[in-house]
Structures are given as C-alpha cells and as structure tokens.
Amino acid sequence: MTTTPTPDPAHTPTADPAPAHTPDPAHTPDPAHTPRPDSAHTPGPAHTPGVPGLGYVPAQAAAHTSGSVPAGTPAAVVGHPLDAAWQGGPDGSAGSDGPAGEGGVPSPDGVLRLINGYWATGVLAAAATHRLFTHLAAGAGDAAGLARAAGISERGAQAMLDALVALGLVELRGSVYVNGPQAATYLVEDSAVSLAGFARLKLKHMGALADLPQVVQAGGPVSDAVVEVADNPHWRELVLAIAPQSVPAARVAAGVLGLAGAGPVEILDVGGGSGVYAATWLQANAAARVTQLDWAPINAIARSLMDQRGLAQRFTTIDGDFHTTDFGTGVYDVALYSHIAHQEGPGSNIEVFTRLRRSLRDGGALVVCDYVVDDDRSGPAFPLVFACEMLLKSHHGSTWRQAEYRDWLAKAGFTDITFHRAPPATLIVAR
C-alpha cells in the first residue's frame, strides 16, 4: 500500500483497474513537504555569496558599493533567488526579505527558484548518497572534514555545503556547518524516519518528468503506467525507501484509534508494503495481530522487518491482489488502506471500501491514509501537486477531496467519518 512522493506511504497499492500495490509517493520532497513537526524551522541568515558573471549584483553588495541602487535598475539585477527566495518559508514560499520588484512589480525570484527546482532534487540526492548529513551529525563541521569523512573532494564538499545552506537544510554557525532541524530529523541515516533513501531514489525518477507536457495533453500516461503493473519490481526498491514516511502517520493513527489500550485486536493491512504500519501498531499493542495482503515479494520484505523487530509471531501475510482477494466477513477490528486510494479511480475505491466494511466486526474501524485535497481545491500544497504524479503514472488515480471520501465511504456503509492531520497526509477514520 505503500508514488511522492514524493509520497507515506510504506504501503503497496494499485491503480484502477490494473493490479499493483505499492504507492509511489510524491515527487521529490523538499523541506516543505517531508513529514515534519508542525513548528516550522526558519533558516538563519543567507550565506550564499554573489556569483560574478551571472548578470546580477547581490542586494547586500549593492548597498555597500554605491550606497544606493540607481533608479530604474531592474529587480532581477538587484537580487538573486539564492540570496533570499531559496531560504523562504518551509512551505516553499519566497522569503519575505527577498528583493522586491520596482513599482510593485513582483520579483522573479520565486519563479526562478521553481524553474531551477531540479537543483534541489540533485543536491539532496548527492548529499544523501555520500551520507553528508550523517557525517555532519558526527561532527564533520567544515569542507575539509566533510571531504575526509565522506571520501569526496574538498571542492565538492564545499559546493554541497553552500547548496545545502541555500536550501535551508544546513546552517553555518560561525565557521562550523551543522544540520538544521529538518535534516537532523529526517536525513541522517539509520533513523526510523530517515528519508535519505527516498532522496536517492527520486533522483532516478526525474527523467520521467520530461513526458509531462505530453501527459497533460493526453490526460494520462504516454508510456507504461508504472503504478498499474501487477507485481512490478519497481515496488521492491520503493517500499523500503518510502517506509519512513509512514512512521509519523502510523503513530498518529495508533493514538486516534487508542490501540495501546485496546487489548487483543485483529488488523488487516491491505497493500502493507514494508510492514511499517504493522510494526508500529504491534509495538504499541502487545496483544494485537496483523494480517498483511500484498504481492509475495513485498510480503517477504515485510516479514524480514518483523523478524528484525521480534514481531513475526503476531504477523501473517496473504500473497495476492487486493482487487480480487476476499477479505472475509466480520473478521477484523481494524482495516488499513494506506496510500492506495490515490492510485485508484472512484469506482474501485467504493468497491474496495465496501468489501473492507464487510470484513470488519461490529464497532470496527477502517483507516485510510492518503494525500487529501480540501473541498475547494485550495490546498494543502503537497496533495495538489501530487495529483500530477498520478497523471503521469496512472490512468485513473488522483488526489481526492474530503467530500469524495465522505461520499465513497457512505456508499460503502460507513456512518461515522472523521479526518485527522498527519502531514503531508491525512488520516480518515470510518466506522
């Protein structure tokens, strides 16, 4: 159930109607979109110097050379997106201190930042490949030290540090470089919530975006719909890379359901992918049991995770396609459908919700986790953009509105439907 992707998402889904499971999360998550605490981090002062020969004068330099900017100087000559806009708010908006346009004309900084957005994907993937955030966490505080620790050139280390400062992921404190809060939380290796593997993976996906203009014209994929290929090897690499995205949402869901004090419960995880939800919930409740339905190679990955965590005795797998596998009747207390709905069309989601409702015992709950759009389509930003991922990779998928989920779940027989934030996703609990 597991593509972000950029999403979770550690769940393996499929799109309507072809069978497949693991979702391909959102496109490359920038600091604005990775799961993070609600308190946003604002980077410190910019350290990116002006670059000679690029046709602009940094605002700071202009102030110290002539004392003022000559009248009529275009805004694009006064500042550069890397001076301020790249260090804007964590929602990706341009910084408030960025260079303003003349006579109320907006600065091009925000547009230039978006045009060059692929730099962020490349820089983040290269940094993750060389474990730079992990080395910074271990005390490599300058280019020379980072180069030695990572086995890279000092020139490359300095270029990476400059770029990571510009992206707001690394901070310069005096003469020492340190991870910012988001990098320290989500990009240091060997953490349960580390997204470093996902950053490396998304660099490989960038080439597919070249098809997007044709896809927009056609209204769907112009080549193979990746998420609709049954038992696609694509998922085997993806499920481990995206598993950390689901950890925060799994913890939120455990709290909403009150799993810790629920006693013996039977849980069905449809398209469970790496098993990260199952592991989180089994650790929260020592009397719970989980059955995961997914393709055989994906279930093997999940069983390995359960073995590592000592949870294998309470974890069962069913190999198969959730479109055609019988869920049973009155068997489970909780059913989970995480990051699948965005790859399915309305008819498929209603059909699956109906069968999941039938599989629940009296008082049971269905948990849906996905990138959900506000009813007026004004936000949130990440689900809105992620719809393009589904346009690129599926024939029927999209990011659906709250009203659509309410309608589908009501048609499936649920009467109590609530929504809960788990950024960048939303949890829907239906009873």
The long-range contacts involving 400-403, CB below 8 angstroms and separated by at least 24 positions, are: 400/341, 400/342, 400/346, 400/349, 400/370, 400/372, 400/373, 401/372, 401/373, 401/374, 401/375, 401/377, 402/372, 402/373, 402/374, 402/375, 402/426, 403/375
| Nearest residue to 289 via CA among 277, 278, 280, 304 | 278
Tens digits of residue pLDDT in 258-289: 999 999 999 999 999 999 999 999 999 999 99
Tens digits of residue pLDDT in 333-391: 999 999 999 999 999 999 999 999 999 999 999 999 999 999 999 999 999 999 999 99
Amino acid identity at 410:
A
Distances (CA, A) of 15 to 24, 50, 326, 339, 365: 11, 47, 18, 11, 23
Predicted local distance difference test score (pLDDT) of residue 229: 55
Beta bridge partner(s), residue 211:
none
Beta bridge partner(s), residue 334:
267, 365
| pLDDT band per the 50, 70, 90 thresholds, residue 121 | very high
How many residues would you count in the chain?
Answer: 431
Amino acid identity at 298:
I
Predicted local distance difference test score (pLDDT) of residue 8: 40
pLDDT at 231 over 80: no
If one looks up domain 118-194 in CATH, what number appears?
A: 1.10.10.10
Predicted local distance difference test score (pLDDT) of residue 99: 52
Each domain of the chain, given as residue ranges in start order, spans 118-194, 227-430
Global pTM exceeds 0.85:
no
Tens digits of residue pLDDT in 282-312: 999 999 999 999 999 899 999 999 999 999 9
Q: Residue 220: which residues within 8 A CB-CB, separation 6 or more?
A: 391, 394, 395
The span from the CA of 175 to the CA of 189, in Å, is: 24
The span from the CA of 27 to the CA of 50, in Å, is: 30
| pLDDT band per the 50, 70, 90 thresholds, residue 103 | confident
H-helix or E-strand spanning residue 390: helix 381-393
Distance of CA 366 to the CA centre of its chain: 22
How confident is the model over 326-335, as a mean pLDDT? 98
310 φ/ψ angles, rounded to the nearest 5 degrees:
70, 30
How confident is the model over 98-105, as a mean pLDDT? 66
How confident is the model over 217-244, as a mean pLDDT? 72
H-helix or E-strand spanning residue 358: helix 346-359
Strands 332-338 and 360-370: parallel
Classified as helix, coil or strand, 306 is helix
Q: With contact defined as beta carbons under 8 Å apart, do 181 and 139 qualify?
A: no
Of 96-105, 237-246, 330-339, the poorest mean pLDDT is in: 96-105
Tens digits of residue pLDDT in 17-58: 333 444 444 333 333 333 333 333 333 333 333 333 323 333
If one looks up domain 227-430 in CATH, what number appears?
A: 3.40.50.150
Q: With contact defined as beta carbons under 8 Å apart, do 29 and 205 qualify?
A: no
DSSP code string of 22-66 = ----BS---TTTS---SS-----S--PPP-TTSS---HHHHHHHT
Highest mean pLDDT: which range of 197-206, 232-241, 321-330: 321-330
Query: Which pair of tokens denotes residue 251?
Result: 């913890």
| pLDDT band per the 50, 70, 90 thresholds, residue 230 | low
| Nearest residue to 241 via CA among 186, 294, 321 | 186
pLDDT at 63 over 60: no
The span from the CA of 244 to the CA of 249, in Å, is: 10
